[in-house]
Amino acid sequence: MLIAITREISPSINQCELTFHEREPINYERACEQHKQYVNALRSLRLQVQVLPADPDLPDSVFVEDTALVLDECAIITRPGADSRKPETESITNVLEQYRKLFFVQPPARVDGGDILRVDKKIYVGLSTRSDNNAIEQMQNYLRPFGYEIEGVTVTGCLHLKSAVTQVAEDTLLINPEWADKNYFDGMKFVEIDPSEPYAANALLIGDTIIYPTAFPKTQKRLEAAGVKIVNVDADELAKAEGAVTCCSLIFKS
């Protein structure tokens, strides 16, 4: 059984952090509708979804992915790179301690879950504006006993590693090669995004199916040609907050 932790959208979402996007008004009602669609997509893939209540004081708290890395053996509570987001870890700690032994990234290290891409026992960590080598060292120390290997990946032009590359099948990554170098990912096959859709590399893989935004039809054709099964969701409102599909959940085995 897979569990997904999600969180309702904060009514202060319009005060979200922005790094690469110009601020545009986010329609809160529409964003909430789309978030419901996302939760329903998770349920349609038979996940047990736990929806945490919104927090008006934490504009970006819908993006729960950034607060933790959950593995079968343990979980690591991150220390998000943006100061406004650091308090988000408290409520997630309270939830995850019911399921896993927890480790905590200690200051001054910083890492966002959006920078963490796990492929089996290999964990890639984006060296973005949000995440640093100190966090990589701490994570390596926590996870070495469980057989994980961690590697830093240079990320350019986007917020997180998973804006640039995500897994879409056991042996396949969806990648924007302008933002992350394929050479880091030895032994993997690739589907490249259509160059006219630079934000198309974020897909959420569950079993053999991805949850994927409707906004990237050209890249979707490439994914279909590669045999990837897709459940579509509309996600363009939260995209204005630089969020995508992986960032709205933490998924793990119960």
CA distance 224 to 153: 27
Minimum CB separation of residue 187 from ligand CIR in Å reads 25
- Give the active site residue among 16, 32, 158, 247: 247
Q: State the nearest-atom distance from the C-beta of 191 to ligand CIR, in Å.
A: 19
- Catalog residues that contact ligand CIR under the rule CB under 6 A: 16-17, 19, 60, 63, 65-66, 82, 85, 113-114, 160, 241-244, 247
CB of 115 to ligand CIR, least distance (A): 8
Count the neighbouring beta carbons within 10 Å of the beta carbon of residue 144.
11
Catalytic option among 16, 35, 158, 160: 160
Reading the block at residue 107, the tokens are 């200051």
Looking at the Cβ atoms of 61 and 220, the one nearer to ligand CIR is 61
Is 247 considered catalytic here? Answer: yes
Measured from the CB atom, is 12 or 226 closer to ligand CIR?
A: 12
In terms of CB distance, is 27 or 226 closer to ligand CIR? 27
Residues involved in catalysis: 160, 247
